[in-house]
Structure 1
Amino acid sequence: MIREFALADVGFLLLATRWTLLLALTAAIGGGVFGLIVAIFRVVPAAPLNWLAIGYINLIQGTPLLGQLFVFFFGLPLLGLSVDAWTAAALALSIYASAFFAEIWRGSLQSVPQRQWEAGASLGLTYGQRFRYVIIPQAIRISIPPTVGFLVQLVKNTSLAALIGFVELTRASQIMTAATFAPLQVYLVAAAIYFAICFGLSQLSRVVEGRIHVSR
């Protein structure tokens, strides 16, 4: 039965937003951990690790996220591995995020001037000590804006999980539109929620960036 779009429906969309946030957070953590490993593989002086990281990044960045979602949701069951929509979405988004985080952080690490490496060496620090105590602290501040920029994209990309049946904000909007036949109102509310999340992330990055004082 078609009914009017009401305040209770806004509450339904807000409840669905928690799954959008949880999915984005899971992907950010999973992608961040693996992305850091890939970024380190890109910059260490070991050619096989460099090639492995480059191949991984090119493969993930060169294929659409939607295709990766379908591989996990429809492909893994063909191999006898049953996955639900949440697991498939979390895995696909984490792997997708790891490739982009790796390139962002690789660029940040390599943007630290070479003289910083030389200064650390002159103090008798090992490669690992220079990397940990000299390079990474400086790279962190450099990486904040592009990292947060990608996080904003990641939040919006969670909407693709609706195509495999995961009920997050976009899928909840589709369900609500079918019930109320009021797509304009429903999607305007959904857009406002997405904007609030993304704008909040952008403002948070400015605060964090202003509080991290690392000499360049």
Structure 2
Amino acid sequence: MMEFTNWDIFRNLLLAARWTVALSLVAFAGGALVGLLLTALRLTGRRPLQWLVRIYVELFQGTPLLMQLFLAFFGLAMLGLDISAWAAAALALTLFTSAFLTEIWRGCIDTLPRGQWEAARCLGLGFGQTLSRVILPQAVRVALAPTVGFSVQVVKGTALASIIGFVELTKAGTMLNNATFEPFKVFALVALLYFALCYPLSLASQYLEKKFNGTR
């Protein structure tokens, strides 16, 4: 059995945490881009597009992320597509994130008075102009807190990527535990690192919620 000092364990977990952060950033950025497109499609008023977006959101919200990871990794491989664990995890988490962000942003836009859409039309503004100049500047203030808050779920969701072999923080913890046979020490450090990643985001979400609720 290899001998690992406390520093060896912590250093290896810290190195693995970089991949947790990288996967979280990719999933959140990709999810935000897809979510923004889906939110815009849902606001067009065209029923076929609204139904397609609704089915997409219900599908990814109503199924476990673990199953989505399995389908992205093993399902695509069965179709003949050679996909790495990193790409499969990034794809599944991006789709998962986009579904939740679409619903969060739709809800935030729905809190704005409906009369603002009608007033913009009376001024001759088109759909794109109304969305970019009137609705989005106000909706962003409402959406910031829940969006940052949801990023915590994205970080924690990356832990499931270990099941398809992607070596992030949780997978590294499992490997170190198998080598050291010290589960309490190893997973306590894993939990501490997750806390260090998530707690600042939770604080930021609470701060933004108080700030913008107080100025509305």
1:68-147 → structure 2 map (5 Å cutoff) = 68-147=68-147
Checking the alignment, whether the CA contact within 8 Å between 2:146 and 2:205 is kept in structure 1 is no
Q: Which amino acid aligns with 2:198?
A: C
The residue that corresponds to 1:168 in the other structure is: 168
How far off is 1:210 after superposition? 7.3
- Mapped to 2, the partners of 1:215 and 1:193 lie a distance apart of 34
How far off is 1:124 after superposition? 3.3
Aligned residues: 216
How far off is 1:24 after superposition? 0.5
Structure 2 gap segments, 5+ residues each: none
Q: State, as a whole percentage, how many aligned pairs show the same letter.
A: 49
Q: Which amino acid aligns with 1:115?
A: G
Structure 1 gap segments, 5+ residues each: none
The residue that corresponds to 1:12 in the other structure is: 12
Q: Which amino acid aligns with 2:135?
A: I
The residue that corresponds to 1:158 in the other structure is: 158
- Mapped to 1, the partners of 2:132 and 2:28 lie a distance apart of 22
1:166-205 → structure 2 map (5 Å cutoff) = 166-205=166-205
Instruction: Sort the Cα spacing of 1:214 and 1:123 in 2 relative to 1 into closer, same or farther, 3 A.
Output: farther
TM (norm. structure 2) is 0.92
- Mapped to 2, the partners of 1:112 and 1:106 lie a distance apart of 10
- Mapped to 2, the partners of 1:208 and 1:154 lie a distance apart of 19
- Mapped to 2, the partners of 1:81 and 1:190 lie a distance apart of 33
Q: Which amino acid aligns with 1:59?
A: L
Q: Which amino acid aligns with 1:103?
A: E
Checking the alignment, whether the CA contact within 8 Å between 1:138 and 1:215 is kept in structure 2 is no
The residue that corresponds to 2:149 in the other structure is: 149
Checking the alignment, whether the CA contact within 8 Å between 1:85 and 1:165 is kept in structure 2 is yes
Q: Which amino acid aligns with 1:66?
A: L
Deviation string 1:39-64 (CA, Å, 9 cap, x unpaired) is 11222211111011011111111111
